[in-house]
Amino acid sequence: DPLDRSGVWRYREFLPPLPPDQIVTRPEGNTNLYSAAALSTWTGCPHLLLKHEGENPTGSFKDRGMTVATSHARAVGARVVACASTGNTSASVAAYAAMAGLPAVVFLPEGKISAAKLGQAIAYGARIVQVRGDFDSAMRLVQEASQELGLYLLNSINPFRLAGQKTIVIELLHQLCWEPPDWIVLPGGNLGNTAAFGTAIVELEAAGLIRRRPRLAVIQAEGASPFYRAYRNGFASFSPEPAETVASAIRIGNPVSYDRARRSILETDGVVEIVTDDEILEAKARVDRSGIGCEPASAASVAGVRKLVRSGVIMPGQRVVALLTGHLLKDPDTVMAYHLGPEAEHRPMTNRPVTIEPTVAAL
C-alpha cells in the first residue's frame, strides 16, 4: 500500500478515516533521530536525541498535519483553502493545495516572515495576502473570513491538522521500540503540536503501546510567552500579549490551541519554560555546527533542555527527545545576521567568510 510509505498514513489507525482516493501525500514523516556528543555536553544531557521534522517535504513538521487536513478538504469538496501563518504553515498549505488542485489563500504578517518561507508560498502558487499587523491579527482575520466567505481553514485549530501531527509522537515512540523517553521537549507558538502531542500520548497509552507517559516540556521565546505566563500562575488565567522574538516562526501572542495545550501539560505532568533570543541563537549555532542544523524556533527546544537541566527539572540521567521543527534553510537571513552582523564578534561559534584574489599566493 503506497500510503504505508508515509510516516503519517502508516499510523492510520490513529487518524480519522478518509477515502483513500482523496489522500494527498508526498509522503511525509519518516524523520530521523540524531544524537550529537557536542550537544549532549552543552545541554548537560547525555541521553539527548533530536527528532528532525525539518526533513519533511516542505522542510517543517506542518506537512504531517497538512496531508490529513488537505485530504479532508478535498473529500468534503472545499473550494478554497486558507491559513494565517508565520511562514511554515503557508509553505505547506501552498504545496499541498497545489498537489490537490485546490486554490489556496495565505494570510501573512507583512515583513515578519522569512524570505525563504515567503518564497516557498509564492513558488507553489498560493494567493498571498500580506496583512498590515502581526500574526495574531492575520489569524483573527482568516478565522472571520473563513466563516463569512466559506474558506476551508487549514490552521491547527483544524482537528485534521492536529490528528496528523500526532504521528510525530507515534513515529518517535515506534522508533524507540515503544519505550518512552522521560521527556519530549518542543517549541511552543500557536500550540498545535503541544495539543496534538498530549492527545497522542494518551491514545498510545490507552492502546497499550506504551506503559507510562513521557512528560512534555514546552519551550517559548521569552518575548512571546503567553503560555508560560499562564502556566506560572497555575493556568488560573490567560491573557494574550504582543509578541517579539528573533524566532519568527513562534512570534505569537494569542495561541489558538491554548485550551488543548493546557490539557496536554496537565495530562503529561508537563512543564513550560522560556528562553531568551540569545539562548535560542546560541543553541541554533550549536545545532548547526553539529552538522544537523535547524531554524531558530526549533533551537528553542535545545536551549530549553539546557535550561531545564541547569534548574534540576531534567535529571542528567534521563532520556530526552528534543524536537527540531524546521530545516536550517528556512531562515538564512538569521544565519547571516548571527555570523556576519554587528554583534557577531561577541557571539560563540561564528564563522566569517574571507575573500581573496584567485591565486595560491593570496590563499
Which ranges of the chain does DSSP label H, i.e. alpha helix?
Answer: 37-43, 62-75, 88-100, 115-124, 135-149, 159-175, 192-206, 226-232, 258-267, 277-289, 296-310, 332-340
Rule CB under 6 A: say whether 87 interacts with ligand F0G. yes
Q: Which is nearer to ligand F0G, 37 or 123 (CB)?
A: 123
Tell me the C-alpha to C-alpha distance, in Å, between residue 12 and each of 63, 214, 280, 315, 354: 15, 22, 35, 35, 51
Q: Which is nearer to ligand F0G, 180 or 188 (CB)?
A: 188
Rule CB under 6 A: say whether 190 interacts with ligand F0G. yes
How far apart are CB 197 and ligand F0G at their closest, in Å?
9
Q: 184 — alpha (psi -120 to 50), left (phi > 0) or beta?
A: beta
In the set 57, 109, 180, 192, which binds ligand F0G (CB under 6 A)?
Answer: 192
104-109 sheet: strands from edge to edge: 127-131, 104-109, 81-84, 152-153
Rule CB under 6 A: say whether 250 interacts with ligand F0G. yes
Q: How far is Cα 25 from Cα 146, in angstroms, rounded to an integer?
A: 24
Q: Please report, for the chain, how many H helices and E strands are present, in that order.
A: 12, 10
Give the binding-site size for ligand F0G (rule: CB under 6 A).
22
Kindly indicate which of the ranges 119-127, 187-195, 284-292, 307-315 contains the residues binding ligand F0G, using the contact rule CB under 6 A: 187-195
Rule CB under 6 A: say whether 326 interacts with ligand F0G. yes
Q: Which is nearer to ligand F0G, 189 or 198 (CB)?
A: 189
> H or E stretch including 83?
strand 81-84
Cβ(68)–Cβ(43) below 8 Å:
no
Rule CB under 6 A: say whether 189 interacts with ligand F0G. yes
In the set 58, 67, 85, 199, which binds ligand F0G (CB under 6 A)?
Answer: 85
Cβ(111)–Cβ(47) below 8 Å:
no
Q: Which is nearer to ligand F0G, 214 or 326 (CB)?
A: 326
In the set 185, 249, 285, 328, which binds ligand F0G (CB under 6 A)?
Answer: 249
Cβ(148)–Cβ(142) below 8 Å:
no
Q: Which is nearer to ligand F0G, 282 or 331 (CB)?
A: 331
Residues 6+ apart with CB under 8 A from 95: 57, 58, 63, 66, 120, 124
Cβ(81)–Cβ(70) below 8 Å:
yes
Binding mask 92-131 for ligand F0G (x = CB under 6 A): ----------------------------------------
How far apart are CB 313 and ligand F0G at their closest, in Å?
20
In the set 60, 146, 167, 290, which binds ligand F0G (CB under 6 A)?
Answer: 60
How far apart are CB 361 and ligand F0G at their closest, in Å?
45
Q: How far is Cα 87 from Cα 115, in angstroms, rounded to an integer?
A: 9
Between residue 293 and residue 322, which ones bind ligand F0G under the rule CB under 6 A? 295, 297-298
Binding site for ligand F0G (CB under 6 A): 60, 85-89, 156, 187-194, 249-250, 295, 297-298, 325-326
